Amino acid sequence: MKSINEINDKAIKSYMEDKQFDDWKLNYHLEMNFGLINDPNGLAYFNNEYYIFFQWNPFDCEHKFKHWGLVRTKDFINYSIPKAVLAPDDWYDKNGCYSGSGIVIGDKLNLLYTGNVKDFQGNRSSYQCVATVDKKGNIVKKGPVLDTIPEGYTPHFRDPKAYKMGDKFYFVIGAQSEGLKGCALLYESADFEKWSLVGKINTKYKDFGFMWECPSLLNINGTDILIFSPQGLEKEEYRYQNIYQSGYILGKLNYNTLDFDHGTFEELDLGTDFYAPQVFKDDNNRDIMIGWMGLPEEENDHMTVEHGRVHCLTMPREIFIKDNLLYQKPVEEMKDLRQEVIAEAEGVICTEWKSENTNDNSYEINAEIDRLNADHIEIKFMGIDDEYSKLVLDFKNGTGILDNSSILNGPKSIRKFKIEKDEKVSINMFVDKSAVEIYLQGGRYVLSSRIYSKNNSQGIIISSNEEIKINNLNLWSMGGFK
Ligand code: FRU
């Protein structure tokens, strides 16, 4: 295995040189120039900067050799050159520095992650480990703070997400019972060093997949939210369409009994590429979520693999509660990437609106639509003739489809979902070369997908079965991260 210094020399070189990239190279989504990335880790606001760590195999496009990578930013536009900061080179993390979280204590950012260890027969052990980051940027591994797995659970025990409440520290961790059911356990500590099990979080989902990865427990304005990524849910016609899911339950957690009084599990994203999100609070009290824009076991579906890199992270999204649901919107800072207005429309009544110029597929479009008598609205983007991606909103049946079946490269995916029958439609869509994020109805529904349309498959058309009225439409070209 190459050392962290060699990886970082390679990173510096590849970010400094004027490299010619392929058509799929992203402008304003975080991806690495080489290797495979997955879950965002250790998200925190520390020392006046956002710290975004992530799972990174800097060697190739396989799920192996998991390091933690790091980028820092003050504004979500200008980023530091990525660095590998934790390598799987100690006995307690030798098969991967797996996912974990970050929490600021005093003048240090404390990282808590899972050390994944396998023996010769492939048997797994799991160690929960700490590393600290000081204000000068020195990162020091401290080793395991928890080296046992509680009775009744298998070694699929990982992804501790720490938080502080009152004068106690807690972490919630993904687990699998010996009956092979996924769940989340809660631990507590007075000093972030000695941890004891509080117990299992009691939800009504007792038989809901074989493993829950990357849980996060948060509280927004008095409401408790458990976000987790269950594996093993049956695919249904309008939900659970990806190989694994990510979603949340929302309600009230009783910290004495660990009974969680909650509503139904809602998926966070309905697109083809979203998993293992993590949420943190910044100094402006915003709850910011970043997801992995990818899914396990699908790396070879991606066109970037032949260029030595795969996957990216979603844009940072602010999350908030409305009508007992989590809504998402890209952080305000993303607006600073808007360049010129390519097209506008206000009060336009039509059955078709079109722009052939979409700035080489690096744009944002915003529109509010009065449906009038129309109940079928289609948006074709990344191409309008033979090859395109199509979002269909069918308000008669209350369903939506993201249809990539005419896309020539990569997966010909189709995703179906249910939508409420609103009179108005709001769309905020970000297209970034081969990454698309669509926010519908003010962020009630979000779809994130990697779509590999040919670079010349440009354009966007909004059409409907009856006249609609288009308001506040703005199409901006988008610049890139620096
Ligand atoms: C989720 C996950 C985590 C694990 C990490 C390993 O994508 O499988 O459970 O810690 O990725 O990279």
State the residue for tokens 């006046």. 48
Q: Is the CB of 114 under 6 A from ligand 1?
A: yes
pTM of this structure: 0.97
Q: Is the CB of 161 under 6 A from ligand 1?
A: no
Q: What is the pLDDT of residue 454?
A: 82
Catalytic residue among 9, 18, 23, 39: 39
Q: What is the pLDDT of residue 316?
A: 98
115 Cα–ligand 1 center, Å: 11
| Closest to 352 (Cα-Cα) out of 459, 470, 192 | 470
pLDDT over 70 (residue 89): yes
Q: Is the CB of 224 under 6 A from ligand 1?
A: no
174 Cα–ligand 1 center, Å: 10
Q: Is the CB of 31 under 6 A from ligand 1?
A: no
Q: What is the pLDDT of residue 16?
A: 86
Residue 405 — pLDDT band, cuts 50, 70, 90? Answer: very high
- Report the alpha-carbon distance of residue 424 to residue 114 in Å, rounded: 45
Q: Is the CB of 55 under 6 A from ligand 1?
A: yes
Question: For residue 481, what are the contacts with CB-CB under 8 A and spacing of at least 6?
Answer: 27, 28, 30, 77, 78, 79, 337
296 Cα–ligand 1 center, Å: 8
Right CATH for 4-330 from 3.90.1170.40, 2.30.30.100, 3.65.10.10, 2.115.10.20: 2.115.10.20
- Please identify, in words, the CATH class of the domain defined by 340-478: mainly beta
- Report the alpha-carbon distance of residue 8 to residue 223 in Å, rounded: 42
- Report the alpha-carbon distance of residue 285 to residue 464 in Å, rounded: 40
Q: What is the pLDDT of residue 20?
A: 81
Structure tokens at 280: 């943190």
Q: What is the pLDDT of residue 228?
A: 98
Structure tokens at 439: 């926010």
State the residue for tokens 């076991």. 297
Q: What is the pLDDT of residue 150?
A: 98
Query: Backbone phi, then psi, for 310, in 5-degree steps?
Result: -155, 140
| Closest to 399 (Cα-Cα) out of 421, 380, 374, 382 | 421
Longest Cα–Cα distance of the chain, Å, equals 68
What is the 3 state secondary structure string of the chain? CCCHHHHHHHHHHHHHCCCCCCCCCCCCCCCCCCEEEEEEEEEEEECCEEEEEEEEECCCCCCCCCEEEEEEECCCCCECCCEEEECCCCCCCCCCEEEEEEEEECCEEEEEEEEEEECCCCCEEEEEEEEEECCCCCEEEEEEEECCCCCCECCCCEEEEEEEECCEEEEEEEEEECCCCEEEEEEEECCCCCCEEEEECECCCCCCCCEEEEEEEEEECCEEEEEEEEECCCCCCCCCCCCECCEEEEEEECCCCCEEEECCCEECCCCCCCEEEEEEECCCCCEEEEEEECCCCCHHHCHHHHHCEECEECCCEEEEEECCEEEEEECHHHHHHEEEEEEEECCEEEEEEEECCCHHHEEEEEEEEECCCCCEEEEEECCCCCCCEEEEEECCCCEEEEECCCCCECCCCEEEEECCCCCEEEEEEEEECCEEEEEEHHHCEEEEEECECCCCCCCEEEEEEEEEEEEEEEEEEECCCC
β pairing state of 309-310 and 35-46: parallel
- Which residue's CA is the nearest one to ligand 1's atom 8? 213
Would you say how long the chain is, in residues?
Answer: 482
Residue 1 — pLDDT band, cuts 50, 70, 90? Answer: confident
Lowest mean pLDDT among 117-131, 348-362, 416-430, 451-465: 451-465
Lowest mean pLDDT among 16-20, 47-51, 76-80, 168-172: 16-20
438-445 contacts, C-beta under 8 A, 24 or more apart: 438/271, 438/391, 438/402, 439/328, 439/329, 439/330, 440/393, 440/400, 442/322, 442/327, 442/329, 443/317, 443/327, 443/328, 443/329, 444/322, 444/325, 444/327, 444/420, 445/270, 445/400, 445/417, 445/419
Q: Do domains 4-330 and 340-478 have the same CATH topology?
A: no
Decide if 134 is catalytic: no
pLDDT over 70 (residue 9): yes
Q: Is the CB of 38 under 6 A from ligand 1?
A: yes
Residue 467 — pLDDT band, cuts 50, 70, 90? Answer: very high
pLDDT over 90 (residue 412): yes
- Report the alpha-carbon distance of residue 118 to residue 129 in Å, rounded: 16
55 Cα–ligand 1 center, Å: 8
pLDDT over 70 (residue 286): yes
Domain boundaries, the chain: 4-330, 340-478
In this predicted complex, what is the ipTM?
A: 0.99
| Closest to 173 (Cα-Cα) out of 277, 100, 92, 230 | 100
Mean pLDDT of 390-394: 98
CB–CB of 289/278 below 8 Å?
yes
Q: 258-280: string of b/e by CB count within 10 Å (b at 16+)? A: bebebeebebbbbbbbbbbbbbb
pLDDT over 80 (residue 389): yes
pLDDT over 80 (residue 19): no
Q: 312-347: string of b/e by CB count within 10 Å (b at 16+)? A: bbbbbbbbeeeeeebbbbbbeebeebeeeebbebee
Mean pLDDT of 371-377: 97
With 0-12 / 13-18 / 19 or more C-beta atoms within 10 angstroms meaning exposed / middle / buried, residue 474 is middle
Residue 397 — pLDDT band, cuts 50, 70, 90? Answer: very high
- Looking at the CA of residue 39, tell me the nearest atom of ligand 1: 7
Q: What is the mean pLDDT of the chain?
A: 97
pLDDT over 70 (residue 455): no
